[in-house]
Structures are given as C-alpha cells and as structure tokens.
C-alpha cells in the first residue's frame, strides 16, 4: 500500500523497498521547457480551417500532466542538452498521443475523458478522426524539422506499432480466449511504445551512449506497461477523477483487460459463464458491473494486476541505474512510484 507519498514495493528477493511517489519534482524541473512545448502546441495546432484549432484547443485545455512529452524533456536535459530539438520532439510526442486519444474515443465510442465530454461527443466521429490525422501530420513535420533520422525512425516506428496495437485489440475484443501474453502484447504496442519512444528522444539528440539509450528505452517501456495496468485496475476500483473516464467503461465496452483475464482464469465455472456472457454477449449493465466487481474482489484479480504493475515499475527503476545521477534521474524514479500509487 502507499501512504503519505510513499510507494511500498516488494523487490525480487522479498525485501521491502520504499520509493517516493510523486510527479511534482518532474513537473518543477521541466516547467520552463514544458511552457515552450505548450506554446508550440498552440502554434502548430493552428489552421485556417476553424474546426481544427477549436478541437485542438479543447484538447489542450482538457488537463492532464503531459507525462509523455515530459519524458522527452527529462531524457534530454539529464544529459545537459541546451538546444530546442527536445521541445519540438516533445510536442510531436504530445500530438501523437492526442491523435491516438481522438481515434481511441471514436473506436471505443467513449463519451467522457478526463472528466469532460470527448471531442467525438461534441463534434462527432468524422471531425475527431480527421483532426487526429491533422495532428499526426503536424507531429511528423516537427520530426522532420529536427533533422534526426534516428528520432524520425523511432517515433515513426512507434506510430506504426500503436496503430497495429489498435487493430490487434479490436480483433481480440469481446473474446475471453485472450491470454495474459496476448493482452500484454497489445498494451505494449498501444501504450508502452509511445512512452518508450518519448524517453529515447533525449539520448538520440544528445549523442548519449547506446547503453544509456537502451536504459531509457527500457524505462519508458516498463513505465508505460505499469501505467496501463494501473489504469486497468482503476477501471474496477477507482474514481472518474483519478481515471479520467467513467469507472466501468472498459467493462461496458467489452474490453478484455488483465483483471478480467485473471478473474476468468482463477474463477469457478459460474464465474467463467458470467464473464463470457458479459464480455462476449454484451450483458454488461450496471447490475452486471456490480457482479463483476464482486467476482474481481473474490478472485483477487485487481490485486494481481497491481502486483504485475509493480514488477514493471521495479524494472523501470532498475533501468535508471544506468543513467547519470542527479535531480532528473531522481524525478524519473519518483514518477514510477506516482504511477503505481494512483491505485493504492
């Protein structure tokens, strides 16, 4: 459990470790750079087509900590970078993330995100998809402006992997045959790929060693996995404020997430019949959600999911040991604790 800003985890040998759980140090360190990122976001989201800045500004003002672009800022400034390429790349990362959210909400038919109506609910699906495409185009223009083929390769690969993950999830949706390995592959593509790419931008533009580049790639990947698994757990035990959408949305949309996989695997025949009816046949009203939560609690599925998230968090922290000591590395360590502590 986590108390007073602390995240208490079990190391591999059973030893208890305590890490500070806060995103505040990273927010403070990156404040000036992120102000420049925000200014560039507003500039590049502009267009003579009125609907584009209207939707873009709505998304920019929606809140959120912008963790992914902050990873790009941190991974550059920890090596003493003083140019502006990291500002452009961080903006590209945020545009990629925002475009993904726009497309996700259309696919999932979501009406709420970050406690506000989604763009698709206000402007419709067509506008959301097309503005998402515009933002992706702007992201690639920013990558080209930086002039790093390595950065372009990593981010364009991430864009392809994310799209592949979306299609993979769509094909696996509403199927209780989905395994833990299948699901982890999907979220590694959908969520962790952009975390990993964002964190790798810094060592690319600063010319850091391959060892340091790999460390940040691993950190981003495993942080992204932990982040998504905690979101999965929150869908059945969090609040709309902490989750950024309605609690139970994954269940209502028939998504097979890790808590569901654990509950199906570890439950009895009645449990398995329930999950098949709820997920595969769409029997997922409020009464079914209450029953789902009871079955998740009885099988310890949410706790098992959080345990998996903690393991990924420990791998992320271990990767940081390869990086230069200092406030940036400490801030990235605390972000791991923050991600996990959202659910405890």
Q: Over 70: is that where the pLDDT of 4 sits?
A: no
Determine contact, residues 148/88, Cβ cutoff 8 Å: no
What confidence score (pLDDT) does residue 238 get?
60
Region 196-218 average pLDDT: 98
Q: What is the DSSP string of 112-142?
A: EETTEE-HHHHH-HHHHHHHHHHHHHHHHHH
Average pLDDT, the chain: 89
Amino acid 21: pLDDT: 83
The pLDDT, as a whole number, for residue 228 is: 95
Region 19-46 average pLDDT: 92
Residue 270: how many CA atoms within 13 Å on its side-chain side? 6
CB atoms within 10 A of CB 5: 14
pLDDT at res. 70: 98
What was the pLDDT predicted at 11? 41
Question: What would the pLDDT profile of 270-328 be if each residue is shown by its tens digit?
Answer: 999 999 999 999 999 999 999 999 999 999 999 999 999 999 999 999 999 999 999 99
Query: What per-residue confidence (pLDDT) applies to 248?
Result: 85
Report whether 289 contacts 248 (CB < 8 A): yes
Residues 6+ apart with CB under 8 A from 23: 65, 67, 334, 335, 338
Q: Which is more confident, 22 or 18?
A: 22
CB 78 within 8 A of CB 49: no
Q: Under CATH, to which class is 2-341 assigned?
A: mainly alpha
Interval 7-16: pLDDT, tens? 444 444 444 4
Residue 243 scores a pLDDT above 80: no
The full set of domain ranges for the chain reads 2-341
In this predicted structure, the answer to whether residue 249 has a pLDDT above a threshold of 90 is no
- Please say if the pLDDT value at position 1 is more than 60: no
The answer to which of 26-35, 145-154, 170-179, 318-327 has the lowest mean pLDDT is 170-179
Does the pLDDT at position 161 exceed 50? yes
Between 17 and 201, the more confident residue is 201
């Amino acid at each position: 459990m986590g108390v007073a800003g602390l995240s208490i985890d079990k190391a591999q040998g059973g030893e208890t470790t305590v890490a500070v759980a806060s995103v505040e140090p990273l927010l403070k360190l990156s404040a000036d750079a992120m102000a420049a990122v925000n200014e560039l976001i507003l500039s590049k989201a502009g267009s003579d087509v009125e609907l584009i800045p209207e939707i873009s500004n709505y998304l920019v003002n929606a809140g959120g900590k912008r963790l992914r672009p902050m990873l790009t800022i941190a991974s550059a400034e920890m090596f003493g970078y003083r140019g502006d390429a990291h500002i452009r790349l961080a903006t590209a990362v945020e545009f990629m993330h925002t475009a993904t959210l726009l497309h996700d909400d259309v696919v999932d038919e979501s009406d709420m995100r970050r406690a506000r109506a989604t763009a698709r609910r206000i402007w419709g699906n067509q506008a959301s998809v097309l503005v998402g495409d515009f933002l992706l185009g702007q992201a690639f223009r920013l990558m080209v402006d930086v002039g790093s083929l390595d950065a372009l390769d990593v981010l364009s690969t991430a864009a392809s992997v994310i799209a592949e993950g979306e299609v993979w999830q769509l094909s696996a949706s509403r199927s209780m045959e989905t395994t833990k390995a299948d699901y982890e592959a999907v979220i590694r593509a959908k969520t962790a790929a952009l975390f990993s790419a964002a964190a790798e931008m810094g060592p690319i533009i600063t010319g850091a060693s391959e060892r340091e580049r790999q460390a940040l790639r691993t950190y981003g990947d495993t942080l992204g996995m932990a982040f998504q698994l905690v979101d999965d757990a929150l869908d059945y035990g969090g609040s709309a404020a902490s989750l950024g959408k309605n609690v139970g949305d994954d269940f209502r949309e028939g998504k097979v997430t890790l808590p569901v996989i654990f509950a199906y695997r570890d439950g009895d025949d009645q449990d398995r019949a329930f999950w098949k009816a709820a997920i595969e046949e769409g029997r997922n009203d409020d009464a079914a959600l209450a029953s789902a939560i009871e079955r998740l609690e009885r099988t310890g599925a949410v706790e098992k999911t959080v345990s998996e998230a903690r393991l990924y968090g420990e791998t992320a922290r271990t990767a940081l040991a390869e990086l230069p000591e200092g406030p940036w590395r400490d801030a990235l360590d605390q972000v791991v604790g923050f991600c996990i502590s959202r659910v405890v």
